[in-house]
Amino acid sequence: MVRKRGSFILCGVFLFVTWNALLLLFLWGRLPTRRLGEGGRAEPGSREELGGAGLDLAKEVIRLADQVESELETQKKLLLQLQRHRPLWEGLGKRLMNSKKGGEDLLHPPQKYPGLADIDQSKGKQDQDSLIFPIHNMKVENKELVANEDRVKSTVASTDVIPILVIACDRVTVKRCLDKLIQYRPSAELHPIIVSQDCGHADTARVIGSYGSQVTHLSQPDLSDIQVRPEHKKFQGYYKISRHYRWALNQVFNKLSHSAVVIVEDDLEVAPDFFEYFRSLYPILRSDSTLWCVSAWNDNGREGLVDPGKAELLYRTDFFPGLGWMLTKELWAELEPKWPAAFWDDWMRQPDQRRDRSCIRPEISRTLTFGRKGVSLGQFFDQYLRYIKLNTEFVPFTKRDLSYLFRERYDEMFEKEVYSAPLVKAEDLKGGSMQGAGPFRLQYSSKDSFKVLARSLGVMDDLKSGVPRAGYRGVVSFLSHGRRIYLAPPSGWSHYDTSWS
């Protein structure tokens, strides 16, 4: 390798010297060679000429020197460009050598996630032979972490636009939401903020309007009441919200022609790495057909239930979390024709919509809700939502390898880690009699046993279409007394029971 690099450098030096030699010959050839001509003037440089034409010769020399300086400056720029592109040339040279050995197709090189293959060096130098699987310090050989380059259909580029859609109504506190979004967004061009307002509330409209060109303000035109069954009159707000979502998403995808969007409601505050989080996961969402959303929310993200030192942890979940989530235009084209009249979020959790697809969610939430008042009348707020921990540490997700989130790889590692964990009882957890740092597994076998265990450990116990909040393959992951716990069904789980609702 050293001999090859030395030959490359010598070749470059030879070309540089040759070029300068040719340049000097060219410039020398452009010196004036006037001889005796029609005016009977003497040859340049003769005693007769020097006396009267010395000034002209001096000017000619200065002009030539200026040309040499200009040419040298051009060469300097060329050399700087060569130096900047040297890694690409060396990489091409390696690939040419490898292609001779392995038959690589250089005309159709594999695509890569920009930045995803880079390992974050801020945590210290990692072992060359292994990587840490980001679930819970599970070591996996490099050969098992071969990137899914052949599966990548779309990658996030520096020019991909991912707008933020803020769903607003009559909360003037939307200012808190917008202030954080504007504070943390890295680019107004790559992440335009679109505020869609329902309700026609004048004070809220003035707050949104005060941001001027920093946001795009849309007003939902249909403010009329919706005809509902008499027993649903108290749910009129849910019907209006569903109508507003449908209108707003049609504006984003069909009128503004965006390919993806992150939806935020007006009572959410975002974390410092909110944009980094969604931007890094956009290519995963587009590449894995078993995913249908990315969410910033962990339903069990309360203090004490999450690991504060693992802000980089990401999971797959079968439960649709909402509360700051990303979807694609293709998914909206699938959902829009059958969009429900009300209760859109629970509708999303039904098997006919989910279709065995999952979302990605974080260990520590990237959104925090501060809106106690709303159509849900504060349901779960006082008991759960007000205690959700908002991430404060910036995690450079775009510089991490996130390919472990693809279903095949994730399922194998997740199932192995969950079902190799020692089986314990709830009394052991509460009594602190367990030995070791974990993880440990608690087993449930029925809806009632799940609810009893969940309530005793402080995690959310409700199920939607049989799926527990933050659950994946029936497993709910959380911390208890500083130890990782898996609340899991028996080994061999195959499907959710929709009667558990």
- 392: which 2 tokens? 């404060």
The residue-averaged pLDDT of 279-297 equals: 98
Residues 450-498: pLDDT tens digits?
A: 999 999 999 999 999 999 999 999 999 999 989 999 999 999 999 999 9
| DSSP per position, 76-87 | HHHHHHHHHTHH
Sign of the CA dihedral 229, 232, 237, 242? negative
Of the candidates 495, 326, 491, 312, which has an alpha carbon nearest to the alpha carbon of residue 414? Answer: 491
Using CA atoms, how far residue 453 sits from 84, 114, 232, 460, 487, in Å, is: 60, 43, 34, 10, 8
pTM across the whole model: 0.72
Helices (H), 251-403: 274-287, 329-335, 344-348, 351-354
Q: Residues of 149-169 as b/e, b for ≥16 C-beta within 10 angstroms?
A: eeebeebbeeeeebbbbbbbb
End-to-end Cα, the chain, rounded Å: 64
SS3 247: helix
Out of 120, 170, 307, 345, which one is annotated catalytic?
A: 345
pLDDT of residue 127: 36
- The reply to whether 273 belongs to the active site is no
pLDDT surpasses 90 at 383: no
DSSP 418-487: HHTSPB--HHHHHHT---SS--EEEE--SHHHHHHHHHHHTS---EETTEETT-BTTBEEEEETTEEEEE
CA-CA distance, 250 to 243, in Å (whole number)? 11
Task: Give the model's pLDDT for residue 427.
Answer: 87
CA 113 – CA 399 distance, rounded (Å): 10
- 367 in Cβ contact with 266 (< 8 Å): no
How many helices (H) and strands (E) would you count in the chain? 13, 17
Give the long-range contacts of residues 46-53, CB within 8 A, separation 24 or more. none
Q: What are 132's two structure tokens?
A: 């840490």
The pLDDT tens digits for 473-483 are 999 999 998 99
| Range with lowest mean pLDDT among 41-50, 79-88, 155-164, 367-376 | 41-50
User: What is the C-alpha separation between 155 and 159, in angstroms, rounded?
Assistant: 11
- Lowest-confidence region among 112-121, 369-378, 402-411, 430-439: 112-121
Q: For residue 294, what pLDDT is reported?
A: 98
Among 415, 151, 465, 414, smallest CA distance to 290 is for 151
- Residue holding tokens 């490359």? 8
Q: Cβ contacts of residue 162 below 8 Å, gap of 6+?
A: 190, 191, 258, 260, 261, 262, 278, 279, 282, 326
Residue pair 351/465 in contact by the 8 Å Cβ criterion: yes
Beta-ladder partners of 468: 463
Where helices occur in 261-328 by DSSP H, the ranges are 274-287
The model's pLDDT over 233-242, given as tens digits with 9 standing for 90+, comes to 999 999 999 9
Non-local (6+) Cβ contacts of 45 within 8 A are 57
Element (H, E) at 176: helix 174-184
| Whole-number percent of the chain with pLDDT over 70 | 66
What phi and psi, each to the nearest 5 degrees, are found at residue 146? -65, 130
Pull the structure tokens for residue 205.
């409209």
Token pair, residue 48, equals 């007769």
Two tokens, residue 192: 């335009």
Rounded distance between C-alpha atoms, residue 141 and residue 120, angstroms = 18
Q: What is the pLDDT of residue 249?
A: 98
pLDDT(284) > 60: yes
Q: What's the confidence (pLDDT) of residue 430?
A: 78
Per the model's pLDDT, the better-predicted residue between 406 and 131 turns out to be 406
* 81/311 Cα distance (integer angstroms): 40
**Residue 440 to residue 484: CA distance in whole angstroms:** 6
Q: For residue 48, what are the CA distances in angstroms to 44, 53, 54, 61, 388?
A: 9, 9, 10, 19, 97
